[in-house]
Structures are given as structure tokens and as C-alpha cells.
Amino acid sequence: MSEIALPRQPGKWALRWAITRNEIRNIARHPYHLLSLAIPVLLSLAFTFVFSALDETNELIVVVYDAESSALVAALREMPEVTLQEVDSETAVLNALAEDATGGLVIPVGFDAAVTNQQTPELPVYINTDARSVNIATFQRLLSEQIWAMRYDSPPVHITWQEQNQPGETFYSLPGESFVFLTFILLGLTMPTLALLPQLMVEEREGGALPALLASPVALADLLIGRGAAIFFYTMLAAAALMAINQGWVGDVAVTAVALFLTTLMLIGIGLFAGLWSKSKQQCNNVAGFLGIGLNLPSWFALVPLAGLAILPALFIRLIPTYYFTNTLIYSLNGRATPQTVGLNLLILTGCTIAAFVMVRWRLGQRPLV
């Protein structure tokens, strides 16, 4: 008896990847969906132009006290991106940092000779923590490059970074472009995950396509994973564009990336639950609007320390999961992300992400959705 060859069914993950690719193409074909993804990027561009037009303090000012005309100061003087202010005392350096200077240097006597003799002299470098994050990062990069150019075989100088105008221990201010980034990155995460994702799910049920899909080897969980992965793809594209526009790479970019990843997963879980729970487009839009406003609320208070608010408003904001995302980015964009400052925030975001997908799993176990 000859054997009958049966068609081979695709593996579960191959099937989910096919669904993901199909959803990416479907979203790209609809101008309405693309517009909803592009709105945060377009708004961010508009605000960036406004800030650039109004801001007159984007100059990288470095104030220096150099009694012996060192080669390091001469190199900084030749840089077109640096406005060098040379003063006659260390006190004058500190006074300039209280105004608009980004950083300051106090070149010790015999500095060049000590570098030449490989004595690794100490170089006091002052940072104005009220300056723009991008200016601080640029100053630190340029200074490090020039110092290493003095000698390549070993560290030529021991830098002691000293912060001036440092804010309180639990709150760091944000310059204009970082506040715009924080505001619109959260909007860029919530619009596709809370507005577009649930709507796509409801449209599929209302259009009658879901029963036909479930009659195939495709399970509802496969559809959710594939559609969630497609939304994750577009959300990361929007996040990358917002980072490029608003210099979101400053500070601790690895911590920013981890916070973006966890928050996006959490919001996708919430969006999937909203799509499974909503029965109509109108209900879906109402839920998306309510969740969107609530989850974007912490970014509106990014310039205000919660200690300055009344107890109940401060407690309410702390109950919103995205508060821990914005709080992490405040530390990250200022280059102050440490296990002590952001570790608990990332742990809470991880817990909220797990809780969101537990709710999705629970909803799938309820009554039929079709």
C-alpha cells in the first residue's frame, strides 16, 4: 500500500511570523494608519522648530582659567563648535558656570610638562548641570578626545568631574529638547499601541474576517502575537525617529532603550486587552482616549518634582505605570541612571508588563469573542 503525502503544516512560529509580515504590509497600505503613527513625529518636528527659533542659548560655552597657555586650551580655542571664555581666576570660572557656561576648566601650573613626563596630572573639570544635556555630552566628548590626543599609550590626565548648580537628589531638570522628546516619545508609544492596535482587532471582528481566520490552522493567540509584533515594529520606528529628531540618544542611551522596550511591551499588552474587551469601534475609541490621556499624564509633570505637588495628586501620578518610564528617562537623559536611581523603575515596568499579558491570557479564557 502506497503512503499518501499530506501537506506539511507550517510551524507555529513560522505561522506567527507570516501573520506579522502580513500585518506590517496591511498597515503600510492604509494612509489613515500611517498618519496615526506619524502624528507624534510630525508634532515633535513642529515643536523642535519652535524651540530652535525661540532658543538663543544653544551655544557651547566653555570657561577656562589657564595661567600658562596650555596646549589643551589652544586646541579647544580652534574648535568652531566651542565658544571659549578665558578668565583670570578659578573663582571667575565658578561665577561663569552660575550663568550660561556649559563647562569650565582650571588648568594647573605645570600641566603640559606633567603630561609630557607621563605624570598623569589632575585636571579639575566643572559641569553646569543646568545646561542642556546635549551640550554637556558634547563638551565631555570633545574634552576627552583632545585629552587622548595628547598621548595615546595611556590615560594622560586624571579628570575630576565636579558638578555646579546641582539640583536636589531626587529630581533633575530637563532642557527644552529633552522635555519635548520625553513628551512625544510617550505619545509615540501610546498612539499605535492603545489606539491603532485595538481598532484593528475590533475591525476584524466587525468585518466578519475573524471566524474565517480561526477556521484555518491560525489560533487567536497566533493572531494576537503577530499583530502585536507588527505594532511593535512600527512603534520602534516611530521611537527611533523621535530619538533622532530630539537628540534622545544623550545621556545613558542603553537605559533609555531598555525603558522603551519594556514600556512598549507593556502598552502592547494593554492594547491587546482593550481590543479583546471592546465590542465596537466607538467603545474602542472611548477606551483608547481614556487610557491615552491617563498614561500620557506623567510626561506633563516631567518638569515638576512630585515633592512639590499635593499628596493626593502625587500619589495618583505614582499609580500610573508610565510614571516609572518618564522618571527613568529623566535620569537617563541627564546621564544619572544608576541601579539606585532607575533599578526600581525598571523592575516596576517589568512587573506591569507581565501583569498586562496575564490580563490578556485571562481574557482569552473567557467567553468566545466571535
| Sequential DSSP letters for 118-172 | T---EEEEEEETTS-HHHHHHHHHHHHHHHHHH-SSS---EEEEEEES---SS--
Q: Do the domain assignments include residue 92? A: yes
* 3-state secondary structure (DSSP) of residue 356: helix
Give the span between the Cα atoms of 193 and 367, in whole angstroms.
24
pLDDT band at residue 80, thresholds of 50, 70 and 90?
confident
Residues 276 and 300 in one domain: yes
Average pLDDT over residues 63-86: 87
Asked if the model's pLDDT at residue 369 lies above 70, the reply is no
Rounded CA separation 20/12 (Å) = 12
| Residues constituting the chain | 370
In a domain, 107, yes or no: yes
Does residue 317 share a domain with residue 272?
yes
Mean pLDDT computed over 271-283: 87
Judgement on whether residues 212 and 354 belong to the same structural domain of the protein: yes
Rounded Cα distance, 145 and 252, in Å: 19
Residue 335, SS3?
Answer: coil
| CB-based burial, 204-218: b 16+ in 10 Å, e otherwise | bbeeeebeebbeeeb
Nearest to 329 by CA among 245, 214, 249, 224: 249
Residues 47 and 122 in one domain: no
User: Which pLDDT score, from 0 to 100, does residue 234 have?
Assistant: 94
**118 and 224: one domain?**
no
Answer whether residue 264 is part of any domain: yes
Q: pLDDT tens digits, residue range 180-205?
A: 788 889 999 999 999 899 988 888 77
In terms of average pLDDT, the best of 35-39, 167-171, 209-213 is 35-39
Residue 282 lies in a domain: yes
12/320: higher pLDDT = 320
Model confidence at 322: pLDDT above 90? yes
Q: Considering only CA atoms, which of 341, 346, 303 is closest in space to residue 321?
A: 346
Q: Is pLDDT at 170 greater than 70 in this prediction?
A: no
Inside any domain, residue 184: yes
User: What's 308's DSSP letter?
Assistant: G
Say yes or no: 19 and 66 in one domain.
no
- My answer on whether 307 and 204 are in the same domain is yes
In contact, 100 and 58? CB cutoff 8 Å: no
* pLDDT, mean of residues 105-115: 87
pLDDT at residue 321 in the model: 95
Q: Which of 1-15, 98-112, 125-139, 338-352 has the lowest mean pLDDT?
A: 1-15
Question: For the chain, how many structural domains are there in total?
Answer: 2
Using CA atoms of 347, 352, 357, 363 in order, give the dihedral in degrees to the nearest 10.
150
In a domain, 304, yes or no: yes
Instruction: Quote the pTM value.
Output: 0.69
- Selection from 322, 354, 327, 321 nearest residue 342 by Cα: 327
The answer on 327 and 358 residing in a single domain is: yes
Q: Could you give the CA distance from residue 209 to residue 352 in angstroms, rounded to a whole number?
A: 32
Q: Do 281 and 219 have their domain in common?
A: yes
The enclosing domain of 86 has a CATH number of: 3.40.1710.10
151 and 231 in a common domain: no
Examine residue 205 and state whether it is found in any structural domain, yes or no: yes
For the cut 80, the answer to whether the pLDDT of residue 356 exceeds it is yes
- 330 and 185 Cβ atoms separated by less than 8 Å: no
Average pLDDT on 83-87 reads: 88
Residue 368: per-residue pLDDT: 55
Q: How confident is the model at residue 164 (pLDDT cuts 50, 70, 90)?
A: low
Same domain, 206 and 280: yes
**Residue 82: inside a domain, yes or no?**
yes
Residues 312 and 182 in one domain: yes
Whether the per-residue pLDDT at 149 is higher than 90: the answer is no
* Maximum average pLDDT range among 78-82, 218-222, 253-257: 253-257
Domain that holds residue 96: 59-131+133-164
Among 135, 345, 338, 174, residue whose Cα is nearest residue 260: 345
